[in-house]
A = this chain, B = another copy of it.
């Protein structure tokens, strides 16, 4: 079974290349050689170029004229700017979620929180997968497709930043608490509190990230 079989070569290449970047197989700072990567993927340069430009539009690659594409490296200012954007989007999403959530949404959010705690207690090394799941569930509850789309793009960039960063257990503990508080505010239908909790949550994550690469 190959779901993306109907996609164009360029479309498939977008997914493949995205994975190569997000997994760090092409590390930050590394340049992308079109001919080399093209024959490595067994395709021509045309579709590969389209995939590269697409990933560049998502911020996972940066283009320099006549110098090709490379994986971006971020400094403190970049992280700050990125998290300001993320806060703008996710705080709004939290507000909308608090306004529009259904009982089913709350159930789902609670389930993700519980599973996160279970995984954390079980000593799982990367419950980050569940962190993404939580934020995704929140976006579902917000029912704002455009905001959801932009959040996904920002989260991707955050994942890129995280690649090659050690995990921080006490920080993860705090995040679990934040998530619970968020669900409580959303379940209570309190937009402003949900927004506030989200803002503080992201401020903490941002601060942790800044110290992790200072």
* Contact string against B for A residues 46-67, beta-carbon threshold 8 Å, 1 for contact and 0 otherwise: 1001100110011000000100
Specify how many copies of this chain sit in the oligomer: 2
Tell yes or no: A88 within 8 A of B by CB: yes
Contact B57 A145 (CB under 8 A): no
How many chain A residues touch B (Cβ–Cβ < 8 Å)? 27
Tell yes or no: A96 within 8 A of B by CB: yes
Task: Report the minimum CB–CB distance from A16 to chain B (whole Å).
Answer: 17
Known: A8-B65, A87-B92. A81 touches B49 (CB 8 A): no
* Contact string against B for A residues 89-103, beta-carbon threshold 8 Å, 1 for contact and 0 otherwise: 101110010000000
Q: How far is the CA of A46 from the CA of B50 in the complex (A)?
A: 10
Write out the residue numbers on chain B whose beta carbons fall within 8 Å of the beta carbon of A147: 81, 84-85, 88
Write out the residue numbers on chain B whose beta carbons fall within 8 Å of the beta carbon of A58: 57
Contact of A57 among B49, B54, B88, B92 (CB under 8 A): B54
Taking Cβ atoms with an 8 Å cutoff, the residues of A that contact B are 6-8, 46, 49-50, 53-54, 57-58, 65, 81-82, 84-85, 87-89, 91-93, 96, 144-147, 150
Extra contacts, 7 of them, besides A6-B65, A81-B145, A85-B147 (Cβ < 8 A), are A49-B50, A50-B53, A81-B144, A85-B146, A88-B88, A91-B92, A92-B92
